[in-house]
Amino acid sequence: MNCRAIISNWILLIALMVGSTIPIASVFAESKESQPDWLNIIRQIPYQYSKNFHSNLSTIRQWVLLENGFCEQQDRHLLFNRRGEFLAYIENDWSKSSTQKKLNQTRLELVKAGKVKNWIIGSEKATGYPFAFNCNQPHADIHQAINRLLGEKKSDRLWGTWDGITAGTKYTPISLFELVEKVYRIKSERINQPVNSAEFRYFLAQIIIESGARKNRVSSENAIGLLQLKPEVLQDCQIPKKFYKHRMAQVDCAVRLFQQNRRNLRKAFDPVFSHLPKAKQDVIFSMLLIQSYHSGIGRMSKLLNPEDQGAATNYFAKNHQDFTAEDIATGIVYHNMGREGFGLASLYYVIDVAVVADKLCKQADLKDSWTCA
């Protein structure tokens, strides 16, 4: 254990002893155990532990994003283990610092109950273990975003023209879904890019995760519009500045970006996954393509390369029959946390996209469409 961890543990011990119902001797005994940081927790996980990981963590992320299950009451934190299994929840306290103290207390109690072997002190700036999600995610607004995408309200319907494409008219506006589908298909055909249902539904889910299906969303990092594209990316797509937020222009640029990413990802993907059934390949590839959009194609490609960080990829490719496509795509990222700049946000991104894609395909307007085939 490093000096920083020792100091942090003693600070927590003092905090927990004040008003704690756990005997001081028990707390001290637990603190003597090796407490690796969150990356080491993941490093110790055998690859086979990824079986059902996607499903486990998706259940929790669904509670968070869709405000159901244990997140029907939003003033809660959910705790889960390294296999993505839900362990417990706490009611949030009156302040962030007191909530963190309560989380750490619960982590210790989970160790004492034998539900986990290790625990790590968490803070507002440091990830603790068991991991925790805050149910209160007001920025997500998934239900309203889906309504905007499907044009449930007249005010959410639109029309436009872009690069010779007309979608809807002033007098017969259409849903954002119909507009995106039309531009996506036409632009893909123009550049001989394949269109498949798995990729397109993830693309739609990405619009919801990225911007809540809002045209004017601008992030703190100056990512712009429906698909949160950076100005330099829009410039590369030769989109005039006055059209940066134009929804059809955003889809146009994203399709071209996906084409470039697809070409590069194929070079790394096919040598290790071409022997899998076609349907399974499509889902894995689509999820990794979405991940490439978030994390960068260069970093994603390295996780598939045996000479870089491809150990997890090789394992899943050889044992693919033991895992779902979703477990494989998620496992590749999960077992490489901390490498090539992949963090927990990268892992949650691809899972959140999959959760929203599944939710979209339960909508009456989409469940029987080609998108959800």
> If pLDDT is split at 50, 70 and 90, which confidence band does 38 have?
confident
pLDDT at residue 15 in the model:
42
> If pLDDT is split at 50, 70 and 90, which confidence band does 26 have?
very low
Which of 273, 330, 332 minimizes the C-alpha distance to 302? 332
> If pLDDT is split at 50, 70 and 90, which confidence band does 331 have?
very high
- Whole-angstrom CA distances from 115 to 82, 109, 112, 127 are 11, 9, 8, 19
The CATH class of 142-372 is: mainly alpha
Tokens of 117: 């072997």
pLDDT at residue 63 is higher than 90? yes
Domain boundaries, the chain: 3-134, 142-372
Which of 105, 121, 123 minimizes the C-alpha distance to 113? 105
β-sheet with 86-91: strand ranges across? 86-91, 76-80, 131-134
List, as own/partner pairs, every contact residues 218-227 make where C-beta atoms lie below 8 angstroms and the sequence separation is at least 24, other chains included. 225/250, 226/250, 226/251, 227/251, 227/253, 227/254
Tokens of 96: 């962030």
- Tell me the C-alpha distance between 286 and 161, whole Å: 28
- Tell me the C-alpha distance between 166 and 194, whole Å: 22
Backbone angles phi, psi at 162, to 5 degrees: -165, 125
Q: Residues near 220 by Cβ (< 8 Å), separated by ≥ 6?
A: none
pLDDT at residue 232 is higher than 80? yes
Q: Do the Cβ atoms of 330 and 350 come closer than 8 Å?
A: yes
> If pLDDT is split at 50, 70 and 90, which confidence band does 31 have?
very low
- Tell me the C-alpha distance between 59 and 126, whole Å: 24
pLDDT at residue 14 in the model:
41
Model's pTM, two decimal places? 0.84
Q: Please report which residue ranges of the chain form alpha helices under DSSP H.
A: 3-17, 24-31, 38-43, 53-66, 96-112, 142-150, 176-190, 197-211, 231-236, 247-273, 278-295, 297-304, 311-318, 325-334, 344-360
Lowest mean pLDDT among 14-18, 116-120, 222-226: 14-18
Query: Within 10 A of 1 (CB to CB), how many other CB atoms are there?
Result: 14
